[in-house]
Amino acid sequence: MNMTHYMELLAVNQPWNLTIFMAIPVILAETLAITELYILFTRKFDGAIYYLNRFAGIAVGLYFIGIIYYIMTNAVIPITKAGEWRTVIDAIAVGSYVVAGLPLIWIALQEFSLVNRALDQMGKLKIHAICIALFLVFGHVAMIAGMVDPTILGYKSANDHQMMNGNDVQMPKMPMINQDHTH
């Protein structure tokens, strides 16, 4: 089956790529989102949940700096230069994944007091909530677009192209059936 580069990234080098590009950032982001809800409802700006929220916000933001750097230098730039995008759905999947990390980086910058210094706790809480919402929207767009088979939009992989003589593509061999009927 043909797949987007996003899905291919998650599928190869199991379980490492899935862990690095999906499990770790999603666990950190979900921890951030859940603790954010707690803080929104309780308005407790101290205690274990608040500090877990700050840790998750900083960790996931810094983590996404590394992920975005890796994706840009090892996927986006080389794929673009080679003209190897697997239709627009492929670019949407990868692009949305990269964009999803930007609001989380903003949260980390806010936690380091590099942005939004003039805001009070409630103002910073609102920015957190908006950034988490943006992450969720773009992250889900990336996941959904990433799961689309790019052939439905016209992508043809190298394996799909056959020359007239049929010598360029090896057809998969059917499994051998045991034809020995002697018992």
Q: How far apart are CA 20 and CA 25, in angstroms?
A: 7
The letter for the amino acid at 6 is: Y
In the chain, which stretches have pLDDT less than 70? 159-183
pTM for this predicted structure: 0.83
Crossing angle for the helix pair 24-42 and 121-147, nearest 10 degrees? 140
pLDDT for the residue 157 = 80
Q: Are 101 and 21 in contact (CB under 8 A)?
A: no
Q: How far apart are CA 26 and CA 19, in angstroms?
A: 10
pLDDT for the residue 160 = 58
pLDDT for the residue 1 = 73
pLDDT tens figures, 68-112: 999 999 999 999 999 999 999 999 999 999 999 999 999 999 999
Q: What residue ranges do the domains of the chain occupy?
A: 5-149
pLDDT for the residue 176 = 38
